[in-house]
Amino acid sequence: MMPCHDIRIAIVHRDGLYRDCLRHSLAQTQLISIVHSAAGLGQETWEAVVACRPDLLIIDFGLCRRQEPVYPSQRIDVSSVGMKTIVVGVPNREEDILACIEGEGAAGYLLMDSTLGDLISNIKAVMNGETLCSPRVASLAFGRVSTLTRQIENGHVGNGTRLTKRETEIVRLIDEGLTNKEIAVHLHIEVSTVKNHVHNILDKLHLHNRHSAVRHVKAQASLTGRC
């Protein structure tokens, strides 16, 4: 349901010109109010965004593809603070689109060639509890869901490859919100070693980012009845 008040929006984008233009354009749109804008999503910025109590966060795709979690210290469930998310500037490449869909769980995704009109339509759809995306994104999403469904029906997720004990431990620490550096300290190994493990995990499972690996391990555990 659309909120009875103006849609309160926070914008987080690395490109200052893009961010300012977006803020100015959306501010001219009826029933939309810009409550915060920032260039990055560090801990202080995240706390400032939450304090503004936005209904919707518009975030730069580039920030979602960082190696470390988008929300520092711990992975924060955006929905838990009553906020929905639209990712903008997604490259029109299959691997990037799928990584975006599998990674942050946003309510909407806009490719790099999308227009302001596309964004406004997505904002209205998302606030109505709908998902509005381009045919390209929809096709890839449905294809991915179909593939995962077949894999689950066959008794496995991903390519059926089992992770080593160390790799499983690293996935568990990622799920706890630890960064590569924090994992290295916890396991008494080098940061470069952690990065190599993460790379190997993603390569084994044919996944695009670390949080997809967490979901893979949890899904596999639920299928086998193991924790």
Question: What's this model's pTM, rounded to 2 decimal places?
Answer: 0.61
Residues 30 and 129 in one domain: yes
Instruction: Provide the domain limits for residue 171.
Output: 156-224
For the chain, residues with pLDDT lower than 50 are 67-76, 152-153, 155-158, 222-227
Residue whose C-alpha is closest to residue 86's, from 69, 103, 110, 53 = 110
Residues 175 and 125 in one domain: no
* Exposure string for 127-152, b = 16+ CB within 10 A, e = fewer: beeeebbbeebeebbeeeeeeeeebe
Residues 105 and 188 in one domain: no
pLDDT at 68: 43
What does the alpha-carbon distance between residue 14 and residue 66 come to, in Å, rounded to a whole number?
12
pLDDT at 78: 55
The amino acid occupying position 123 is I
Residues 37 and 112 in one domain: yes
What does the alpha-carbon distance between residue 86 and residue 66 come to, in Å, rounded to a whole number?
17
pLDDT at 11: 94
Cα separations in angstroms, 148 against 94, 99, 129: 16, 14, 24
pLDDT at 155: 44
Residues 133 and 163 in one domain: no
pLDDT at 83: 84
pLDDT at 21: 93
Residues 129 and 163 in one domain: no
